[in-house]
Chains A and B, each alone.
Chain A
Amino acid sequence: EDQVTQSPEALRLQEGESSSLNCSYTVSGLRGLFWYRQDPGKGPEFLFTLYSAGEEKEKERLKATLTKKESFLHITAPKPEDSATYLCAVQAETGNMLTFGGGTRLMVKP
């Protein structure tokens, strides 16, 4: 069974204080690993797809990396508007469903 564990569950940062969110996974053949951002009461917003170990993707202050067992979402000099829940999900080669972790709730204070 595919599993995704995200840590920490919650993270408080000061504006400008860089940090990383972790996503550990087990999957029977990885088709893709996905990062989403979710604001309260809204649907997840797609950020990145990573397909193979060593791959990196960047968007503004966010950078996602992938190894064979985990992925990191690095946030550089965060701003209050980066406050949200960040979700990690994996998709196995054998199907199309996404298996999600519990998310990391990020709070950035000015």
Chain B
Amino acid sequence: DAGVTQSPTHLIKTRGQQVTLRCSPKSGHDTVSWYQQALGQGPQFIFQYYEEEERQRGNFPDRFSGHQFPNYSSELNVNALLLGDSALYLCASSLLGGSTQYFGPGTRLLVL
């Protein structure tokens, strides 16, 4: 049973560029959440997608946007990258009615 997968594993971008990160949820899950984890800190909630719609959003600017596809996979897009966007980006999947979220290995983004 495949768990949550994310791609790419690492990414280097320069300020002002745009980036797209991808996530495939655990088999049978229909809900995808995205988190940002700065070095030495706990993850911070960005947003959650269910039925291809954004259901809940954390305290992140509009530069952060997402999408969910009919097969439940998801993308996180970040525009106009800032140095402060450097972090580990985590995707978590769950069932909408369930509470436990299972995380993928993350994408390490470095903005220079």
Contact = CB atoms under 8 A, between A and B. Distances in A.
Interface stretch (A14-22, A30-38, A58-66, A74-82): A30-38
Interface stretch (B12-20, B36-44, B61-69): B36-44
B48 interface: yes
A34 B35 CA distance: 15
Contacts, number: 66
A42 B35 CA distance: 13
B: contact size bracket? 20 to 34
Consensus secondary structure, chain A interface = strand
A96 B90 contact: no
Is the interface on chain A under 10, 10 to 19, 20 to 34, or 35 or more residues?
20 to 34
Contacts of A46: 100-103
Nearest to B41: A102
B42 A101 contact: yes
Interface of B: 4, 6, 31, 33, 35, 40-45, 48, 55-56, 58, 88, 90, 92, 94, 96, 99-106, 108
Interface of A: 4, 6, 31-32, 34, 36, 41-46, 49, 87, 89, 91, 95-103
Which 10 A/B pairs are nearest by Cβ-Cβ distance?
A100-B42, A43-B103, A97-B45, A32-B99, A44-B103, A43-B105, A43-B106, A102-B42, A100-B43, A43-B104
